[in-house]
Amino acid sequence: MAEGPDSIRNVCLIGHRGSGKTSIGEAMISLASGREGRTGRVLDFAEDESERGMTLGLSLASFNWKGRRINLLDTPGDGGFIGDAFIAQRVADCAVLVVHAQDPVQVVTERVWRRGEKEEIPHFVVVNHLDRERTDYAGVVELLRDRFGTSVVPVNLPIGKEGGFRGVYGLLTDTAFDYETGEQTEGPPAGMEAEIDEAKVRLFEAIAESDDTLLEKYLEGEELTNDETFEGIRKGIAEGLIIPVAAASATKGAKGVGIDRILDLIAGSAPSPRDRSRWVSGEGDEIPCAPEAPFSAYVFKSYVDPHAGRLSVLRVVSGRCRSDETLVNPRTGSQERLGGMTRLLGRDRSETVDEAVAGDILAVPKLKDTSTLDTLSNQETVLSYGRVELPEPTTAFAVGATRHGEEDKVFEAIKRVTDEDPSLVLTRSEATGEDLLSGLTQMHIELALERISNRYNVEVEAKAPKVPFMETISAAASAQGRHKKQSGGRGQFGDARIDVEPLGRGEGFEFEDAVVGGAIPRQFIPAVEKGVVEAMEAGPIAGYPVVDVKVRLHDGAYHSVDSSEAAFKIAGSLAFKNACEQAGPVLLEPFVKVEVLAPTELVGDIMGDLSGRRGRPMGMEQRGERQVVQAEVPQVEMLTYARDLRSITGGRANFHVEFGHYEEVPQNLLEKVLAANEREEEVQKV
What mean pLDDT is predicted for residues 190-209?
91
Domain with CATH 2.40.30.10 in the chain: 279-377
- Angle, nearest 10°, between helix axes 193-208 and 212-219? 140
pLDDT of 683 higher than 70:
no
Q: Alpha-carbon distance 246 to 240, whole Å? A: 16
Class of domain 279-377: mainly beta
pLDDT of 625 higher than 80:
no
Q: What's the pTM?
A: 0.82
Tell me what pLDDT residue 307 has: 67
Domain with CATH 3.30.230.10 in the chain: 470-583
Provide the mean pLDDT of the chain.
90
Q: Between 2.60.40.10, 3.40.50.150, 3.40.228.10, 3.40.50.300, what CATH number should domain 5-186+240-275 receive? A: 3.40.50.300
Three-state DSSP state, 426: strand
Strands 94-100 and 8-14: parallel
Q: Alpha-carbon distance 328 to 349, whole Å? A: 24
Q: Which long-range contacts (CB under 8 A, 24 or more apart) does 280-287 make?
A: 280/385, 280/386, 281/383, 281/384, 281/385, 282/330, 282/383, 282/384, 282/385, 282/386, 287/317, 287/318, 287/383
Contact 456, 409 (CB under 8 A): yes
Confidence of residue 678 (pLDDT cuts 50, 70, 90): low
Tell me what pLDDT residue 624 has: 67
pLDDT of 108 higher than 70:
yes
In tens, the pLDDT along 115-136 reads: 999 999 999 999 999 999 999 9
Confidence of residue 1 (pLDDT cuts 50, 70, 90): very low
In tens, the pLDDT along 437-496 reads: 999 888 899 999 998 998 889 999 998 888 889 999 999 999 999 999 877 667 899 999
CB-based contacts of 289, cutoff 8 Å, min separation 6: 5, 273, 274, 276, 277, 279, 317, 318, 358, 359
Q: Alpha-carbon distance 75 to 17, whole Å? A: 10
Enumerate the β-bridge partners of residue 125: 97, 245
In tens, the pLDDT along 294-336 reads: 999 999 999 887 666 789 999 999 999 998 889 999 999 999 9
Tell me what pLDDT residue 684 has: 47
Contact 29, 73 (CB under 8 A): no
Contact 618, 630 (CB under 8 A): yes
Q: Alpha-carbon distance 31 to 421, whole Å? A: 31
In tens, the pLDDT along 514-568 reads: 999 899 999 999 999 999 999 999 999 988 999 999 999 999 999 988 999 999 9
What's the angle, vertex CA 596, arms to CA 594 and CA 597, rounded to 5? 150
Residue 397: count other Cβ atoms within 10 Å of its Cβ.
24
Q: Alpha-carbon distance 500 to 362, whole Å? A: 66
pLDDT of 680 higher than 70:
no
Which of 570, 441, 63 lies closest to 266, judged by CA?
A: 63
DSSP conformation class of 433: -
Contact 125, 242 (CB under 8 A): no
Longest CA pairwise span in the chain (Å): 115
* The residue type at 132: R
Confidence of residue 686 (pLDDT cuts 50, 70, 90): very low
Residue 358 — φ and ψ, nearest 5°? -45, 130
Contact 525, 515 (CB under 8 A): yes
Fold of 588-683: Alpha-Beta Plaits (3.30.70)
Contact 339, 323 (CB under 8 A): yes
In tens, the pLDDT along 361-380 reads: 999 998 989 999 999 999 89
* The residue type at 627: Q
Tell me what pLDDT residue 488 has: 65
Tell me what pLDDT residue 597 has: 87
Element spanning 636, H or E: none
Class of domain 395-463: alpha beta
CB-based contacts of 370, cutoff 8 Å, min separation 6: 299, 312, 329, 332, 334, 336, 376
* The residue type at 669: L
What mean pLDDT is predicted for residues 602-607?
94
* The residue type at 182: G
Residue 485: count other Cβ atoms within 10 Å of its Cβ.
11
Residue 263: count other Cβ atoms within 10 Å of its Cβ.
22
Q: Alpha-carbon distance 263 to 126, whole Å? A: 11
* The residue type at 86: F
E-state strands within 143-182: 152-154, 156-159, 167-170, 175-178
CB-based contacts of 618, cutoff 8 Å, min separation 6: 593, 630, 631, 632
Q: Alpha-carbon distance 218 to 215, whole Å? A: 5
Contact 115, 97 (CB under 8 A): no
What mean pLDDT is predicted for residues 569-590?
96
Class of domain 470-583: alpha beta
pLDDT exceeding 90 applies to what percent of the chain? 65
Tell me what pLDDT residue 308 has: 66
Look at 72-76, 512-516, 588-592, 638-642 and tell me which has the smallest mean pLDDT. Answer: 638-642
Confidence of residue 227 (pLDDT cuts 50, 70, 90): confident
Which of 343, 359, 353, 360 lies closest to 32, judged by CA?
A: 343
| End-to-end C-alpha distance for the chain, whole angstroms | 50
Tell me what pLDDT residue 40 has: 58
Q: Alpha-carbon distance 460 to 418, whole Å? A: 14
Residue 424: count other Cβ atoms within 10 Å of its Cβ.
21
Q: Alpha-carbon distance 144 to 31, whole Å? A: 28
Domain with CATH 3.30.70.870 in the chain: 395-463
Element spanning 26, H or E: helix 21-33
What mean pLDDT is predicted for residues 2-12?
89
Element spanning 343, H or E: strand 342-345
Domain with CATH 3.40.50.300 in the chain: 5-186+240-275
Q: Alpha-carbon distance 200 to 217, whole Å? A: 16
Burial of 647: CB neighbours in 10 Å, binned 0-12, 13-18, 19+:
exposed
Q: CA 569 → CA 510, 524, 530, 575, distances in Å?
A: 17, 8, 6, 10
